[in-house]
Structure 1
């Protein structure tokens, strides 16, 4: 059975332009990667955990922002690793400069035995839908297509 993750795509509409909030993974592996590296806040959840509750928890852990409001189901996408990610969209706003992420341990350099503590997310940014297509992970691009029909754009 593939691993499962749940995530949230926060969106806002400013002056007739829809924007989505994406985050950039932290650590040395992602440090020099930009286009195609950004993602929605997401994380794995256990068999007894509600996926939407897990998505909300992960969003707060990875950004420091609380996700509230109505959540529109965007379905699932499959990562290249095989992991299946279930995603919801919600309307919100935040200042990316206020992002605070939890940390995790990685072995760096690989196979060195040395542990390095890194933020899971090193920054966040608002993107127009067109711009997001260039920066979001390829497997998550279909979420951008599902967003507009799933929400009521004003």
Structure 2
């Protein structure tokens, strides 16, 4: 059975004019990378856990704030070349949220208390383990700018969002 993750994609605007909130992966490996180094906030679905509950939990763990409430649109399940499956849900947020004190976007997520970390070997093959934030920043991008930034397996999600919000 493939590994299944749940993701929550926040957006504002509709169709091709939509903007999405994506997060840059944290740690030294990703520090100087941009294209292909961003992701929709996501994480593993625990056994017996509801997909929406998992997506909201992972959003809060990675960004350090709860996901905004609102109607959820199921964009579907997307399979990576590795076989991993990511089930993506979308929530439209009001435009006033962007740039407000309640905006989950942050140029420096590592300053937020409670964000999740992962342990990685750094430098590679050194045997030294360090804790790094899973993501280090979150930014709103127009769909077409977000596309090359996202990891390849998540790029089709943007087409699903554009179709669902047209």
TM-score by length of 2: 0.83
Q: Unaligned stretches of 5+ in structure 1?
A: none
**Distance apart, 1:148 and its partner CA:** 2.4
For the pair 1:97 / 2:98, whether they are aligned, the reply is no
**Distance apart, 1:47 and its partner CA:** 2.2
**Distance apart, 1:110 and its partner CA:** 2.9
Are the aligned partners of 1:73 and 1:150 in contact in 2 as well (CA < 8 Å)?
no
Q: Any idea what SS the aligned residue of 2:90 has?
A: strand
| 1:57 aligned partner | 57
The separation in 1 between residues aligned to 2:108 and 2:56, in whole angstroms, is: 18
Aligned CA RMSD, in angstroms, stands at: 1.9
| 1:6 aligned partner | 6
Are the aligned partners of 1:24 and 1:123 in contact in 2 as well (CA < 8 Å)?
yes
Q: Any idea what SS the aligned residue of 1:90 has?
A: strand
Q: Any idea what SS the aligned residue of 1:36 has?
A: coil
**Distance apart, 1:96 and its partner CA:** 2.2
| 2:137 aligned partner | 123
The separation in 2 between residues aligned to 1:138 and 1:85, in whole angstroms, is: 12
| 2:45 aligned partner | 45
TM-score by length of 1: 0.89
| 2:154 aligned partner | 140
Q: Unaligned stretches of 5+ in structure 2?
A: 98-102
| 1:32 aligned partner | 32
The separation in 1 between residues aligned to 2:149 and 2:159, in whole angstroms, is: 15
Displacement over 3 Å in runs of 4+:
97-100
Are the aligned partners of 2:108 and 2:137 in contact in 1 as well (CA < 8 Å)?
no
Count of residues in Structure 1 that have an aligned counterpart in Structure 2: 151
**Distance apart, 1:124 and its partner CA:** 0.9
Superposed CA deviations along residues 6-39 of structure 1, whole A, max 9, x for unmatched, are 001100129x931000101101111121012211
